[in-house]
Chains A and B, each alone.
Chain A
Amino acid sequence: MDDILTFLQKEGVDNALLEGVSAFRKAHAVPEDLASRVPQGGVRYLGTAVLDKAIAALLCRKNLLLAGPKATGKNVLATTLAEAFGRPVWNVSFHIGADAASLVGTDTYDGEKVVFRQGPVTRCAAYGGFGILDEINMARNEALAVLHSALDDRRILDVPGYQLVPLAEETRFIATMNYGYAGTRELNEALASRFVVLDMPLITRDNLLRLIKERFPKCKESAAEQFADLFFELEKKAESAEVSGKAADLRGLLDAIDLCQNGLTAGDALAMCIADKTFDPYEKSLVTDVIDERIDPSWKGRELFD
């Protein structure tokens, strides 16, 4: 696999931006004990225009809000950016019960005395990491108020009862949000104004084919095309509100190919990873129809892989 800068170059990312990324990496070395937090290899985001915009924003010390429906690669982009900038990552998954303590830290007892244990956001701020705030709109807005000073020009984190933690120069926050999921809420204006928003487009067919080929190099071109077309057909069905978004699941599709690679038939793999995720029998029948019109359920092994 190419190193990240070569990858970005091949992707066609603007040269000036690439130079900016290189300079950033040189200026901000990663402490050895945090090296394991820097993403290496893995799945990378495919899409030059989006990469250009995201890199430009981060170079300008902006925080990014990646907004879009599922299967648009928000988390993959966040990880790719952290890898590109060579920064350690702290992942924070938001949920309805998330509170300020779970973000910035809480008091704990170390055996002798009560001490402050840093939360992921505090550590990220202090050590110049990339904080990936996943599904930020799942949390209540009041729980996020603690982040306001860190996300705006003040770039400090005021931990109640502890101290002010200034953000390291290289710290960035990348939030993701999906406005379609159940349980998500509208991001309040105060928080939204602290991010630059990148509206994530759906992966293109070519990029999905590349993604499949990169993840599964042995996957036959013809099979990859059918899997890709299947994904877009399901996506279109979900977009037309004929089925819920559960069926248009890119992760599920890639998982299904993975299961096929490991010996399952395409029918079983797609049922487990896509069709069976829709629990309504009628909806499932619609999803199964789409799968059946594309993929032979008996396909396995040589029919799919070289």
Chain B
Amino acid sequence: MIKKHTALARRAENIIWNAAGDYHFDPPYLAYYENGTPDPYFNLVIGLAHKWLDLDRIAAFLDQVAKGSKGDELTDLLWLGIENCVYEKELPQRPRLVDLRRRKAEAFFKNRQTLSRQQMMLQSVTVYTQQEARWSKVLGKALRLSKREAELAEALAFPASLDTDGMLQKMQQILEERFHLRPGSSDTSLTPVTGLRRKIAAAVLRHEHQNTDTLLVRTGTGAGVTEGAAVLSHEGAGGGMGAGSPADAAYLAGTLGPLCLREKELASLEHDLCTGPHTRCRLWVSKKGPAGETPQDLSAKDVTDLLRVQKDAKAQNAKNLAFWKENAIRTASGVRRLSARVDEILSGTERALPERARAGVLSPEIAYRLPVLHDPNVFLHTGEETQRSVSLDLLLDASASRLDCQEELSAQADVIAKSFERARVPVQVSCFRSLRGYTALQILKERGTRDTSGIAAYFAGGWNRDGLGLRLAGRFLPKEGDFARRFLFVLTDASPNDSVKIPPEGGRGPAREYQGNAAVLDAKEAVAELREEGIAVGAIFLGPTLYLENLHTIYGKECVRIHRIDQLEEAVSTLLAQALEGVENVC
């Protein structure tokens, strides 16, 4: 793999080199916060691990561990052990470590308060508890742990006296005794427990998800999933094996609104789109929000869950409307400003009407073209004299990563929709998410209506299977020829992930998670397909720096980055201007 030296990676490496005292050392790991900035403390720990231990051997061991089904989780746990050991070894020479460690612990608890629902879903209970135990201890906080948890926490407090052999031995011991993984024939290989013991172990060990507030990114392995994407292993409801039960459909109808397509239409869509990596997926298209009725065919648990979601969605709708009302003046001025800007940008694209079209009033002067040249555009299309030949589709990411900005996001979408309508550009606002194996498109504001109230039904929750979401949204764009320019602007965090796995090619081998490089490449393909159809796809990126590389991979240079949701309207006009002027933007 060609190593990428971004400024942030270089900074992380510098912290490691400084701690290691060795500038020739090629660190096997780099530690980042979720926002993509280097984690100073954990990079320091990596450097110290090189200084005090044979990190190559430890990395080789951890690589073996990472190959297992719970590899990421176990690796995170073992790093807690390494952290303690090198901390104690280095402390006499670097008393500052006490403060740095305390700061890390404080950041952990602060971060916990701001975790989104989606992030919470990604938490591994074991890792999270052990991190909480470690950082509570650092801060002198009391924490109630079960006997098992307390024993593991104690075992993970690797002492300073350990050398590399001792540490490897200790790690093997923990894996064997606490996770039922036993050492293989060689020193560092691990063989998962098989047979009956595995079944028992599987029953005892819950399926959990990888977590960490710090992402330890393995470098130089060539593993695609680590490139630019957080390594997140997760399984959703249904064990990642797809969806389609009547209960799931009923749940979707209850949470996102009833299906607005006829069954045949849906079947046709699924036939076209749910192929390749999306074979196990289903589609759902609805308009506005849930109807508030409780569908049949649901289990008691689902009904409880559904009622909660409906209640949350209703509350969010009220919150959105309250926010709109509260910011009515700002919204009005935003609409004035943006519509003037859009007006100015589009003034160069206006075309005189009537114009040639496939339907309308037959134009005798050019009628000969149909039989002679097979040109169907021999009719004159009548319309408003000032109608513009531009359409806009705004596709909002409705995954749980937007939990903390739902009101503002809905208000911004409202401003955009109103502004474009005022500038005589038909606009449709939709949002997409993946839930229970369904990739759902929710049309909040339809083209052809000026009513934007449906946007208030926006709420965040679920995953985002960008590749399928984009293809699905593409089916609801205006037809080619209806408009000279069709724009699809996507609000994205460029981090696609979903609980439904990618089936193995040829039906053999294990299914892969829809995440990391595989998901990014799928989304990239979807964008390329849309562009081939003549749709101008642009992205507005709101997310951590870590995913910037994904953004460029998926959307190329047709993107703008915003840091706050209130920059959305400006970003849309910038993107529009760039698309019309053919100017490429570099984030």
Residues of chain A having any CB pair with chain B under 8 Å:
222, 226, 229, 233, 236-237, 240, 242, 282, 285-286, 289-290, 292-296
Contacts and interface: CB of A to CB of B under 8 A. Distances in A.
A293 B19 contact: yes
Contact of A242 (B14, B21, B44): B14
B11 A293 contact: no
B324 interface: no
Main SS class of interface, B: helix
Main SS class of interface, A: helix
Contacts, number: 47
B40 interface: yes
B23 interface: yes
A237 B11 CA distance: 12
Nearest to A299: B96
A68 to B, nearest CB: 21
A154 to B, nearest CB: 48
A169 B95 CA distance: 54
A226 B91 CA distance: 12
B174 interface: no
A290 B20 CA distance: 12
Given A242-B23, A293-B15, A293-B100, 18 more contacts: A226-B96, A229-B93, A229-B94, A236-B23, A237-B14, A237-B18, A240-B17, A240-B23, A282-B7, A282-B11, A286-B14, A289-B11, A292-B40, A293-B18, A293-B44, A293-B96, A295-B96, A296-B99
21 contacts: A222-B95, A233-B21, A236-B23, A237-B18, A237-B23, A242-B17, A282-B7, A282-B11, A285-B11, A286-B14, A289-B15, A289-B40, A290-B18, A292-B100, A293-B18, A293-B19, A293-B40, A293-B44, A293-B94, A293-B96, A296-B99
Contacts of B21: 233, 236
Interface string B488-505: 000000000000000000
A221 to B, nearest CB: 12
Q: Which of B11, B14, B15, B100 has the most CB of A within 10 A?
A: B14
Contacts of A296: 96, 99
Contacts of B15: 289, 293
Interface in B491-532: none
Interface in B91-139: 93-96, 99-100
Interface string B3-47: 000010001001101110101000000000000000010001000
B96 A294 contact: yes
Contacts of B95: 222, 226
A286 B19 contact: no
Contacts of A282: 7, 11
A266 to B, nearest CB: 11
Q: Which of B11, B17, B18, B93 has the most CB of A within 10 A?
A: B18
Nearest to A225: B93
3 closest A-B pairs (Cβ-Cβ)?
Answer: A240-B23, A286-B14, A290-B18
B2 to A, nearest CB: 21
